[in-house]
Chain A
């Protein structure tokens, strides 16, 4: 090196890159300069078409790059340097070529310099490479293809993207591997790439207006974007740091963001309200409950019925019988179990030796739910949600009456006691212990028996009788 130094000490050299992202060209030139011993401060690097270095105007006339002597040592670079440099050279900072050359120069005497993360040149180059990686990653993520019909009738997908750095060519491979069987083009202000299923082609920079401006699928995508967002978890900062605003203008879903944010609080409030039931304190007497339940509109059934039908019976009854809901006649009279099902129940209670007037009889749901057919009102089974809503009233009744045993008639009544739906056949005939120490027995609803005929009816009536007999026996034990 020393022989050369003597002749070229004061000379400056200028290198103009043929392309902003041409790593191979830079590497060839840089190797040659190092081998000729030309120090970094004597080389001026410039981009194609760019003004290059600030001092280039005042720099002395540059000369042809010298040819290194055959015995000049080979240039050395660590693997880490090469991989970082390949990324960093794609950065839009005009200083990058000079910075890379300075590091390469220093690497000749300090081969492990890349490991020294506290060195300012190393930090700077790593930072450049990092921004390029991020920009590439965002390109993989935020390119949005739009379908256009090609003259040949084939599907063609075109995207418009605005990268910060010279990353388009370097990322063609990613899109080729992912969309190998699709014809696509990615247009950018830094150059375009195209894939026809066989080869990648490049073309000069494009403008936004060259790209299509819509795709019907975008409505679906926007619907998805708006629906998958949970307004109860608004975290705008987290979104902005990963999806900076500069990318928004080319992403069809981003136009929804201001509206989604603005509406989030009220949507969350609605979600909470829809789930909430603001109850006042529970009435402490059955009379107060009777008055309050008439006004209850926690679900829609109350709007249908004439009146709410509360339970009736002694307020210290050891047995509480819970049915499903009042029917037509109950709604007319305001008393539970006075219709056909009530009469059948009375019959069976009598046969089993259970005194109806010693029991507190009520329903899981307090209003009559029906649909009107002409003049008739046809019974509708309350939904689980309605049963759960009305549970509040049955629980209030239970708190006052404090029965030792509860007999639930049918699945809705069982749900009102347990908070979940059970199958009658698997739970009947044995007690279920409730949290307050009372026992729950579950059997069929008498209206179910009314709907059966023949053998089926006889069989079910027998099961029903057995359940009532077991309840009577258990009541006797509990009374002791």
Chain B
């Protein structure tokens, strides 16, 4: 068998990256290519250049430098004992691909991850080299996300942060027990140590930037992490608890949840069936509630069932509201912002609109309807000038009324 062509390598190394949940390219420092020699810009908001039929956006060229790996994590397609086809890019090839895709406006930049080859340090050096070529030789000013290797020398991780917009370190599994069982070569303390170091590097760089205009940027889009859902027995309560500690302890921008998906050549320790994708969705919704709606971990946990899991048929906000019915109905014309944010069906935008509009008028139900996506879901939980749900809020079958109907998706409806 001859050496693999670029297109063959791309097929293998993109396929190997498809289990990674993150593709975000937003929230970094603004840059553009005016006055430079290369290309690229970031303007705060990331752009999704395409969507795959799995509903996920494609904003970055997300590939592995190599899918060879000396580690043997059971949930990972690239683990040492897997029979998957192997390939390896050079840092130069990664840079060339990124630039030629970027020039055609296919992507916002690069998300580079890698299996571990030779040693953690060797691998990290290669990834940093790809980023260095892009930044220094190509004068590339687009987005770069590097997945750093917690076992690598902290100095290399620091280098990564100087070139990248965002760095991430995967916690892999929600519990230490799960990590020990499924990722025998990984060490939870080492992972957290590396995250802590990145956090302090970010804080230091921000501080220096305030004092010296030319202080180097360090991962301006912050750090993120990913954990795998459904490969071990961790409950949603464990997961949300862990996520909240990660946000608090390491100042993470995002925690990604990746539903364990059946991988070819799976290890015998893993469940063969994937967890329902909706579980991942519910976790993201609860993450949202904590980050933008002022819910505490405890609130989200209260919305869970006895088994410590979020209900799958309704969203966590509705689940919370149904458990705490005495809080409702809330008067849209008087209730404070933080309370309105607890109404199922009212998002941040709708609440802002309501608050702005009520300075001018006393809102009636149909006017609230104009400000929200759907009034049906909201109705039982609010009072308006001409509306009082009275018996509705207390109906025993309220959950059934509000739970979405199961629908078959039409694939190619015009």
| A interface residue numbers (CB < 8 A to B) | 112-113, 115-120, 123, 137, 140-147, 157, 159, 174, 176-182, 215, 217, 219-221, 223-239, 242-243, 245, 251, 253-254, 257-258, 260-261, 264, 268, 270-272, 274-277, 383-385, 387-389, 391-392, 419-421
- Asked if A180 and B272 sit within 8 Å, CB to CB, the answer is no
Per-position 1/0 for B9-40, Cβ under 8 A of A: 01110110111000000000000111111111
Can you list 29 pairs linking A and B with CB atoms under 8 Å apart? A113-B360, A117-B354, A117-B371, A118-B357, A118-B361, A119-B360, A140-B47, A145-B103, A159-B105, A176-B34, A178-B40, A178-B41, A217-B104, A220-B6, A221-B106, A224-B61, A227-B12, A227-B15, A229-B54, A232-B261, A232-B262, A239-B55, A242-B51, A245-B414, A258-B412, A261-B53, A272-B262, A275-B266, A420-B184
Q: How far is the CA of A387 from the CA of B12 in the complex (A)?
A: 25
A116–B24 Cα distance when bound, in Å, is: 34
Given contacts A275-B272, A384-B81, contact A144 B106 (CB under 8 A): yes
- Chain B, residues 93-108, CB within 8 Å of chain A (1/0): the string is 0000100110111100
Q: Which residue of B lies closest to A261 (CB)?
A: B53
* In the complex with contacts A117-B357, A182-B103, A237-B409, A271-B263 CB distance below 8 A: yes
- Closest Cβ neighbor of B62 among chain A residues: A228
By the criterion CB–CB under 8 Å, are B272 and A181 in contact? Answer: no
| With A145-B103, A238-B55, A383-B81: A275-B7 Cβ-Cβ less than 8 Å | no
Is B176 located at the chain interface by the 8 A CB criterion?
no
Closest Cβ of chain B to A133, distance in Å, is: 11
Residue B56 lies at the interface, judged by CB distance under 8 Å to chain A? yes
CB of B39 within 8 A of CB of A181, answer yes
Residues of B contacting A233 with CB < 8 Å?
A: 54-56, 259, 261, 277
Q: Is B370 an interface residue (CB 8 A)?
A: yes
- With a cutoff of 8 Å between Cβ atoms, the chain A residues found around residue B105 in the complex are 143-145, 159, 179
Please give me the residue from chain A that is nearest to B72 by CB atom: A420
Interface size range of chain B in the complex: 35 or more
Question: Judging by beta carbons under 8 Å apart, are A272 and B356 in contact?
Answer: no
Query: B53 and A228: CB pair below 8 A?
Result: no
**Residue-wise interface mask of B (196-213) relative to A, using a CB-CB cutoff of 8 A (1 in contact, 0 not):** 000000000000000000
Q: How far is the CA of A238 from the CA of B280 in the complex (A)?
A: 15
- Contacts A178-B39, A178-B40, A227-B11 known; 12 new A-B pairs at CB < 8 A: A115-B357, A117-B357, A145-B104, A176-B34, A220-B101, A221-B104, A223-B7, A243-B50, A243-B51, A271-B262, A275-B266, A419-B184
Q: In the assembly, what is the distance between CA of A257 and CA of B63, in Å?
A: 21
Is B104 touching A225 in the complex (CB atoms < 8 A)?
Answer: no
Give me the 4 closest cross-chain CB pairs, A-B, nearest first. Answer: A238-B55, A235-B55, A275-B266, A384-B81
Binding site secondary structure of chain B:
loop
Which of A228, A229, A388 has the most C-beta atoms of chain B within 10 angstroms of its own C-beta? A228
B92 within 8 A of A: no
Given contacts A118-B367, A383-B81, A388-B267, contact A157 B360 (CB under 8 A): no
Assess whether B83 is interfacial by the CB under 8 Å rule: yes
Interfacial chain B residues near A419, Cβ < 8 Å: 184, 269
B48 touches A230 (CB 8 A): no
CB pair A388–B81 under 8 Å, yes or no, is yes
- Please give, as numbers and ranges, the residues of chain A lying within 8 Å of B100 by CB-CB distance: 217, 220
Q: How far is B82's CA from A238's CA once the two chains are assembled, in angstroms? A: 32
Q: Do A217 and B371 touch (CB < 8 A)?
A: no
Q: Chain B nearest CB: distance from A384 CB in Å?
A: 3
Contacts of B409 in A (CB 8 A): 236-237
Report which of B53, B262, B265, B370 forms a contact with A264, defined as CB distance below 8 A.
Answer: B53
Query: In the complex, which residues of chain B have a beta carbon less than 8 angstroms from the beta carbon of A157?
Result: 103-104
Q: How far is the CA of A362 from the CA of B387 in the complex (A)?
A: 78
B325 within 8 A of A: no
Residues of B contacting A142 in the complex (Cβ-Cβ under 8 angstroms):
49-50
| B1: interface (CB < 8 Å) | no
B80 CB-CB contact with A under 8 Å: yes
Residue B52 CB within 8 A of the other chain: yes
Decide if A181 touches B36 in the complex (CB within 8 Å). Answer: yes
